[in-house]
Amino acid sequence: MLKKCKVVMLPTNEKAQIWKSLNGELYYEEQATGNLVKNANQHLYFLSDEEIKDNDHFMSAFYGYPLHNTQEWRVQQEAMLKKSSDVSNLKFHKIIATTDSSLNIEGIAPDGKTVAWRHSLPQPSQLFLEIFVKEYNKGNKIEEVLVEYEKDGYWMNLHEQRLNGPKPEFIHTGDKLKVNPKDNTITIKRVKDSWNREEVEALCWRAFVAEYPKMSPDDINDKVIPKFKNWIEQNL
């Protein structure tokens, strides 16, 4: 399952794998390094429109830097909204992955206060970073990508299998970001923006036959296919 996400690049004074030279070109180094030039180093942030929950990191055009969803921040935000008349730039996007290792995910213990575990947000692969830099320097700034997700949920009756008993059933509760546990990276694909003729014809055919859901195979061969071929010749 692929979902479209935004890619935002922001300057940082911290160590980073991507940095920008004085002539505006980007460079990538496998090991994060510092830079004497202010704001030369750059971090990438991958943003989605999914629900922002407690302790998630997010961003908006209004702020232009990462924010952390805490109770204290929400109180401040509500106060600011009451004073502001323009909220067009206050749409928030969840940060699902980043090259900024200072952004962490935390797990809270049952007492509701103690941090049980902490690790960095998922990150893009080194291959993607190399491609991003290469395309940027050619004038093709990557601002949207497709990111892979997988089904999230739980199994019912998995440990109750008996003769003639209930069959195991997977309960789908939503989708979650697919992360490679070996290196904490996400799977990224290019947003498709071009199609060949065969792909267009296949898409048109799916839309065409959807108008005849109860038609028999013989009628489709005799009536729909000739009509479809005629439509393709006239319109494609």
Q: What is the pLDDT of residues 21-67, one digit of tens each?
A: 988 999 998 887 777 677 799 999 999 998 888 788 888 866 777 87
Q: Are strands 93-98 and 188-190 parallel, antiparallel or unpaired?
A: unpaired
Instruction: Round to whole Å and give the CA distance between 150 and 179.
Output: 9
The string of pLDDT tens digits covering residues 58-90 is 888 667 778 777 766 666 666 666 665 555 556
Instruction: Round to whole Å and give the CA distance between 6 and 143.
Output: 6
Residues pairing with 47 in the sheet: 6, 95
Nearest of 49, 26, 3 to residue 99 by alpha carbon? 26
How many CB atoms sit inside 10 A of residue 18's CB?
21
